[in-house]
Structures are given as C-alpha cells and as structure tokens.
Chains A and B, each alone.
Chain A
Amino acid sequence: AQTVTQSQPEMSVQEAETVTLSCTYDTSESDYYLFWYKQPPSRQMILVIRQEAYKQQNATENRFSVNFQKAAKSFSLKISDSQLGDAAMYFCAYRALDSGSRLTFGEGTQLTVNP
C-alpha cells in the first residue's frame, strides 16, 4: 500500500520569506500523481499544486513550486514571498494512475506565518 509521510508537524516563516515543506512517499508504481492541498482555519480543502510523475519538470503555480525527486520519492513544496494568508495546514497527497481518484494523504504540516 502507498504511504505518504510529512515529517514536519509544524513550521513557521517570517512574512516575505521562503519556506519549504517536506513530503516523502512510498510506492511501487512508476506513474502517479502528487498533490499539495491547503486547509485554512475555515476547514476548506484547497488544491495548491499538482505534479504528474512522468513529467521531469517541476510544477509551479505563482509563488508555489515543488521539488520533485522521483528516485528519492520526495515531493517538497516551496512557498516564496510568504503572506499572512498562507498560514494553514498543508497536506501532501498521492494518487496512483489507475485508482480512479483515490487520494492517500500525509499527516499534515501546520504553517504559521509571522508578521
């Protein structure tokens, strides 16, 4: 079974600085998808960024980018120019190519942004 691990329960960053959240996963599949979701205090789950494993290029979405290391099974999220609104719980998630849309989530990292 696939597993997703986020080893940082809590992280903090100063406003305007850069922070990196870590995620590792275990799978025997060669093709799959990886995601980062944001959960603010409102509890709403918001998709931040996704990466297809067959793509070598790292995904970027404005201030959010990933460092995807397929051989190391690592998928970290970098947030540049951190803003107060980035404060949230961040979840890393995995989906196999043939599993419909079933997601396996990590434990989450609580990000605090200090003014």
Chain B
Amino acid sequence: NAGVTQTPKFQVLKTGQSMTLQCAQDMNHEYMSWYRQDPGMGLRLIHYSVGAGITDQGEVPNGYNVSRSTTEDFPLRLLSAAPSQTSVYFCASSYLAAGLTDTQYFGPGTRLTVL
C-alpha cells in the first residue's frame, strides 16, 4: 500500500493563479480531510469528506474548494491564490468508525508559496 500520497511536494504560485493539490489514498478509507499548517498555529482543518459525494467545511474553508467523486481521491482547489494561503498543506484519511480503527494517516505534505 502507498498509504496517503500528495502531489506536488512543492509549488510556487503568483497571486491570482489557481491550482489543484492532489490527494489519494489506497486504504479504502471513508474519511478524508485537508489541513493547513502555519507557524505557531498547529494544523487547522480546511475541508473534510465522510464519503464519495459528501464534503463539508472545516475551520478555515475560505478560498478553497473540494470535491469527492471517488473514495480514493480528494483534491483541494485554490480558486485565486493569495499570499495568506502560503502554508504547508496536509491531506489525511481514516476509517470513519470510532475506536482504534480510526487512526488518521497523513500524507507527506505540500509546501505552497504564493508570491
């Protein structure tokens, strides 16, 4: 199993450009989520999904869109990049049931810089 994969690992954008961060998992996890990590602020939830066709907003959703057409993939779209979106982005997945089986697995992260 590859686990949770993210592409690209690094990206530089100009203000106003759009792009999609890719996330895929091969563990048949129902739950997938996107976090952003900023210095001194820990990880904050952007959007999450509990299954194909179902998404919901997290703590900091503005400026981001998501969709979940398959169980495996959960892309994050930046509609019009802003310098405030400079951050490290993590995708995570897990089974949905509560208990020991719902440990979240994180991808390696994408470092995004918006100039």
Contacts and interface: CB of A to CB of B under 8 A. Distances in A.
A19 interface: no
Given A44-B108, A45-B90, A102 B42 contact: no
A97 B48 CA distance: 16
A107 B40 contact: yes
Nearest to B93: A101
Given A47-B103, A100-B96, A105 B44 contact: yes
Contacts of A44: 106, 108-109
Nearest to A4: B42
Interface in B65-115: 88, 90, 92, 94, 96, 98, 102-104, 106, 108-109
B107 to A, nearest CB: 9
A101 to B, nearest CB: 5
Interface residues on B, range: 20 to 34
Given A43-B108, A100-B50, A105 B94 contact: no
Q: Determine chain A's interface SS by DSSP, over half rule.
A: loop
B1 to A, nearest CB: 16
Interface string A7-27: 001000000000000000000
Interface of B: 31, 33, 35, 40-45, 48, 50, 58, 88, 90, 92, 94, 96, 98, 102-104, 106, 108-109
18 contacts: A4-B42, A9-B40, A43-B88, A43-B109, A45-B92, A50-B103, A97-B98, A100-B31, A101-B31, A101-B33, A101-B96, A101-B104, A102-B33, A103-B45, A105-B42, A105-B44, A107-B42, A108-B42
6 closest Cβ pairs, A-B complex: A105-B42, A45-B106, A105-B43, A101-B94, A101-B31, A43-B109
